[in-house]
Structures are given as C-alpha cells and as structure tokens.
Chains A and B, each alone.
Chain A
Amino acid sequence: MSGSGLSDADVERQIKQMMAFIEQEANEKKEEIDNKAEEEFNIEKSRLVQQERVKILEFYGKKEKQTELQKKIQHSNMKNDGRLRVLKARDQHLRDVLTETTQRLREIVKDQGKYAQLMEGLVTQGLFQLLEPEAVLRCRQADVHLVERVMGAAADRYKRETGRPVKLQVDKQNFLPPDSVGGVDVIGRAGKIRVCNNLESRLEQISAQMVPELRYILFGGNPNRKFMD
C-alpha cells in the first residue's frame, strides 16, 4: 500500500469506531422512540378512559335520578289514593246521616201534635215569603185535613203582621208524592211562584247550609286550620 498515511490497523480501528458510533446513535434513537411510545401510550389510554368515564357517569347519574323521581311519583300517587278514599268515606258518612235523619223525620211526623204545630209554621212562613193575596197549599193526600185545620191560624197571623188578608185553599187535585215525608208547598199566582216547604226540600236546604257544622260535629275540627272567623 502507500507508505504515508494510516496503516491497515489504523483504518480498521477507525472503521470499528465509526461502526460503534453508528450503533450507539441508533440505540439512543431507539430508546428515545421507545420512551416516547410509552409516554404517549399512557397519555392516550388515560385520555380515552377518562373521556368515556365522564360520559358513563353522567348517563347513569341521570338514570338514577329518574329512578328516584319515579319512586317519588309512585309514592305520591299512593298517598293521593289514600286521601281520596278518606274524602269519599266522609262524603258517604254525611249522606248516611241525612238518610237516617229523613227516616227519623218520618217517625216524628206521626206525632200529630208536633206535626200540626210544624205545619202551621210552614204555612205561615210560606205566606210571609209569598206576600200574595191568594195561595194554594199543596201537601200529602193524607195531610189534607191537618192542613185545613191549621191554615186559619196561619192566615190570621199573616193578617196581623202584614195588615193584609189572604185567601187560602188546599189543593185537592195535586198532592206531594205519596212517599214524601210531609210538609207543605205554598203556591201563588196560579203556580208561578212556589215556596217549597215540603220536608224533603226543607231538609235539603238546611243540610246544605249546615255541612260545615255537620262536618265539625261528625269528624271533629281541622287541626291544620289557622283562622276561624
């Protein structure tokens, strides 16, 4: 070979050095890439997991709220049903009381003394309301004689307090229905005005006005009520 310059051994050494260098650089690069890969692996994995986790939690959070809401609605409906049943029972009790009162009434009107007194009052009241010079009295067929007996006193009282006379007549063509409890309707102006003083009607009017008091008597007061005036 040439005399000057590097010997073969030197060249070989240099080449070996360069090869080692190349290999070392490659290893360093590989390590860099591997580390980067691990790093990105972890970041990507946890990013994906976290992203979906949030969605899943939100989804089930909502579903659980819905379940709780459903339960509340169910419970509320059950309580409402309960309250309705109580209200219906109260209503029924009231009606039962009225029915029993009517039956009691039927018995009481058999007492002619008491009934006659009542009848006179009913006729008088009818006349006071009517303020007509003539009136027809409609009662049960069985009560015709009773009414004829008391209507005179009623007419007298009317005249005393109003200063006016009145002509009374018992209707012998039309009567209160046969199963009526009693009482008398006072009718004026040829049927155009009618004071319903038959006992069904009277009881109906009274009970309608008395419902609050009846409720108080039967069921007790309302503990939640604040104002009584």
Chain B
Amino acid sequence: MNTQTGGIQQLLQAEKKAREKIEEARKGKQRRLKQAKQEAAAEIEAFKLEREREFKAHEARILGSRTDSEKLVQEETRQRLSELSGSVRQNKEQAIRRLLTLLFDVQPRLHENFSRGKM
C-alpha cells in the first residue's frame, strides 16, 4: 500500500512540475512579446533621431546656400545695370537728336475727308 501511494505521489509531483514548467514558458513568452514592443520602440526612436539629423543637414545645405545665390543674383543685376548705363551713355545723343528732329518737323495736314466745298 505504501509503495502505491508513494508512486502516485511521485507522479502527481512530476505532473505538477511539468505544469509549472509549461506555465513558466508561457510567462516567458509574454515577457518576450513585451520586450518586442520595447525594443521596437527603441529602434524606432533611434531611426527617427537619425532621420531628423539627416533632415537638418539637408536643410542647412539647401537654405544655407541662400547667401551664395543671393550674391550671384545681385552680381548679375549689378552687371545688367552697368551695361544699361553704358548703353544709355553711348546712345543718349542719338535719342535726343531723334526727338528734336521730330519735334521740329511740323507737317500741317488737312483731314483726308476734308473737301473745299462748304461743310
């Protein structure tokens, strides 16, 4: 009788141990999934920071060159203005003479429909 109950006890204990082992594995699985979330969050954060850094570099590069392109445009304008002044200086006399010529050239003209008979 003793051996029988002893044997049954052993089996029951083995089963209990087995159940506990499986339960432990299940809990481990839950922990692992939680870890997945945490590790994912950390990776995402790291990625975001890196991308932000890239963006800032991009921004600095593009908008930073503003003063350069500003100088270029101003130089271009300055050159055009100077060419303009030069051209005017050269041709001003011709323009003035043209105006004065026209001004002194008076051409009195009768209307094309005018007839010498009474209106």
Residue positions of A touching B, CB distance < 8 A: 8, 11-12, 15, 18-19, 22-23, 25-27, 29-30, 33-34, 36-38, 40-42, 44-46, 48-49, 52-53, 56-57, 60, 63-64, 67-68, 70-71, 74-75, 78-79, 81-82, 85-86, 89-90, 93, 97-98, 100-101, 104-105, 108, 114, 118, 121-122, 124-125, 127-128, 131, 157, 161-163, 199, 202-203, 206-207, 210, 213-214, 217-220
Contacts and interface: CB of A to CB of B under 8 A. Distances in A.
B106 A206 contact: no
21 contacts: A12-B7, A15-B10, A19-B14, A29-B22, A30-B24, A48-B36, A48-B41, A49-B44, A52-B40, A53-B44, A56-B48, A86-B80, A93-B84, A105-B103, A124-B106, A157-B108, A162-B114, A163-B116, A213-B98, A217-B94, A219-B88
Contact of B73 (A49, A82, A163, A202): A82
Contact of B22 (A26, A52, A93): A26
A64 B76 CA distance: 29
Nearest to A85: B77
Interface string B12-46: 00110111011011101100110111011101100
Contacts of B63: 67, 70-71, 74
B108 A19 contact: no
B32 A26 contact: no
B99 A101 contact: yes
Contacts of A79: 73
Size class of B's contact patch? 35 or more
B106 A41 contact: no
A33 B14 contact: no
Contacts, number: 205
A15 B70 contact: no
A48 B106 CA distance: 90
Nearest to B98: A217
Contacts of B44: 48-49, 52-53, 56
Interface in B82-119: 84-85, 87-88, 91-92, 94-96, 98-100, 102-104, 106-111, 114, 116, 119
Contacts of A207: 99
Given A60-B54, A93-B88, A128 B109 contact: yes
Contacts of B100: 101, 104-105, 108
A125 B41 CA distance: 93
Given A19-B11, A30-B22, A60-B51, A124 B108 contact: yes
Nearest to A206: B102
A162 B108 contact: no
Contacts of A104: 96, 100
